[in-house]
Structure 1
Amino acid sequence: MRILCSNDDGVHARGLESLEKIARALSDDVWVVAPQEEQSGAARALTLAHPLRFRQYDERRFSVSGTPSDAVVMGVTRIMGDKKPDLILSGVNNGQNLAEDVTVSGTIAAAFQGMSLGVPSIALSLSRLERHNARWETPEAHGAQIVRDLLKAGWPSDVVVNVNFPDCAPDDVAGVEVTRQGHRDAFQLFAEERQDLRGGTYYWYGHTGARSNPPEGTDLRAVYDGKISITPLHLALTHEDSFASLTKALMKS
């Protein structure tokens, strides 16, 4: 099995080391094509107005001067040659990608780009309270078996699988749960105003809020309860109930 590893935290990210360990437990044909620099929050952006360049580190390890989606496109269509990967793994992200995160996450975007290119794709993320105290041993201990189980079960070609590991030691993981995308009710993005050394004003995004009380069956609840959350995601964004009501209201003739 040929596996392509990518991410949004950049080619030198600690989580990419964990992802490679997971991939190498599954195959000896592992490639890495990741953004040169961190691209968190890039969502599905593509670089259209600037040239893309790649840097090669060894036979199967590259970085791309663009977004996670750029890295996957370059990896599949240019860098890996005529043989496409059989599987794309994206992550392991330093921080959870749950609920609303999925619409802005570069980690998940890389998986969606792989799916769009016809390659089964899985996004993996690690929940943590502090960025520099992530428990990388947890995805390293459980990740390969999770991927094996997913490959055995299979999933539709228009779906990506979003895996989130809880913030606990490997032996404390409370199980695995297939979940639905949740919704935060106690979370807010804000822009903090700061001043540089030349007197200019700039802004830096941050988050406020606390843990909500999400319902059973959601990705948030599973991770809060110490479980590995597995959520099938797809790009069909049409809201069917609104489609029906608007059709009834507007298409009268």
Structure 2
Amino acid sequence: MPRLPAPLRLSLAAAALAAAANPAHALNVLLTNDDGCAAPGITAVRKALQDAGHRVITVGPASNQSGSGAAYAVPDGRTRLVVEPLAGGADTYCVHRVKPTYVAGGALDATNADYIGSGSPVDATAMGLKIVGPESGFTPDLVVSGANFGENLSDSIPHSGTVMNVLFAARRGVPAIALSVGVDFAEARSGFPATLAAFPKAGAFLARVIASLEATRTPGQPLLPVAHPLSINYPIIAGGQAPAGVRLTMPGTVDSFTTAYKRNADNTVSIEAGAADAELKALARTAETPAFLAKFITISPLDVDFRPTPLARGLFNRSHRDLAALAP
């Protein structure tokens, strides 16, 4: 094949780059998290998604709400939400909780007696789906939650705001992906530099996952089965080395570390991290924690259906018929 002229080679290269940067089916992505609307993880993922050509609206809690799980502002008549644009952040919003007596434009900090504090992760996801999206003419094709500051594996899923965000979205009919990046607790005093360095890499990996899902989905169908959002955990490795590979996994029974509690002389209780427990042998080959500890990126589908299987329900009903005969 004859060598192409340099100008033509350059134009073809530019066209290829443009095609890579602008996918055939750019998505509307609602981006949220539990670390806060301006956290480094969500900022890195936002850039990665935009670099891939997707339109992104970010709605996050005003400050770090890690470990708050599926908490949300209940309709108790005592709480309202404020969705405030982030200064200097286009299409980025921060969610606060305030008292009913809050006056629009008042300070959104502790100097205001009517300020309660940050919204929760699920508050933020709800505001993205129910308020910001409709007001912006933005219907999300996908909800992304993360990248979280720390892995969210198996036993930690119930208290993870990052993962609860995607379960909340999925139960409202929107495909969703949670992304979490590992931490090394030995780096706590230095600010977790390895995690910070991994955020852009994890964001780029997420963009590749989305591109792969987009390339293989049936036209007219959602990017993912709505009932099965994904949880991706991206490990960090000393020296900035790449992960060992990618494993398709499932949630197991143990986290990547144990939490140790110790009563102190002053009656406080210390919270420390210890080594991971062993996974059940029956799950060792498929569970996400062993693969993550072996430095693989793990991708686990979740199930939003809290109901037992028909078999489990039938067994329960047959063995506990007496419960239905109890006096109300």
- Using the size of structure 1 for normalisation, the TM-score is 0.86
Distance in 1 separating the partners of 2:308 and 2:127: 33
Q: Do the aligned residues in 1 keep the contact of 2:171 with 2:304 (CA within 8 Å)?
A: no
Indicate which of 64, 74, 82 corresponds to 1:53. 82
Gaps of 5+ in 1: 196-200
Distance in 2 separating the partners of 1:162 and 1:192: 34
1:78 is displaced (CA, Å) by 0.9
Runs of 4+, deviation exceeding 6 Å: none
Q: Do the aligned residues in 2 keep the contact of 1:22 with 1:140 (CA within 8 Å)?
A: yes
Distance in 1 separating the partners of 2:264 and 2:145: 33
SS at match of 2:80: coil
State the match for 2:275 in structure 1.
210
- Do structure 1's residue 236 and structure 2's residue 305 form an aligned pair? yes
- Structure with the higher helix share, 1 or 2: 2
Output the aligned Cα RMSD.
Answer: 2.6
1:79 is displaced (CA, Å) by 1.2
Gaps of 5+ in 2: 1-26, 97-118, 218-222
1:162 is displaced (CA, Å) by 0.3
Comparing 133-142 with 8-17, which one deviates more in the overlay?
133-142
1:96 is displaced (CA, Å) by 0.3
State the match for 1:30 in structure 2.
56
Q: Which amino acid aligns with 1:187?
A: T
SS at match of 1:52: strand
The 3 A distance-change label for structure 1 pair 156 and 170 is farther
Q: Which amino acid aligns with 1:35?
A: P
The number of equivalent residue pairs is 247
- Structure with the higher strand share, 1 or 2: 1
SS at match of 2:290: helix
- Using the size of structure 2 for normalisation, the TM-score is 0.68
Q: Do the aligned residues in 2 keep the contact of 1:8 with 1:67 (CA within 8 Å)?
A: yes
- Do structure 1's residue 98 and structure 2's residue 167 form an aligned pair? no
Per-residue deviation, residues 190-223 of structure 1 (Å, max 9, x unmatched):
376697xxxxx7666x243203343121110111
Distance in 1 separating the partners of 2:262 and 2:128: 34
Per-residue deviation, residues 96-133 of structure 1 (Å, max 9, x unmatched):
00011111100011111221222111000011213522
SS at match of 2:57: strand
SS at match of 1:3: strand
1:36 is displaced (CA, Å) by 0.0
Comparing 95-104 with 213-222, which one deviates more in the overlay?
213-222
SS at match of 1:144: helix
Identity %, equivalent residues: 25
Q: Do the aligned residues in 1 keep the contact of 2:176 with 2:226 (CA within 8 Å)?
A: no
Q: Which amino acid aligns with 1:127?
A: G
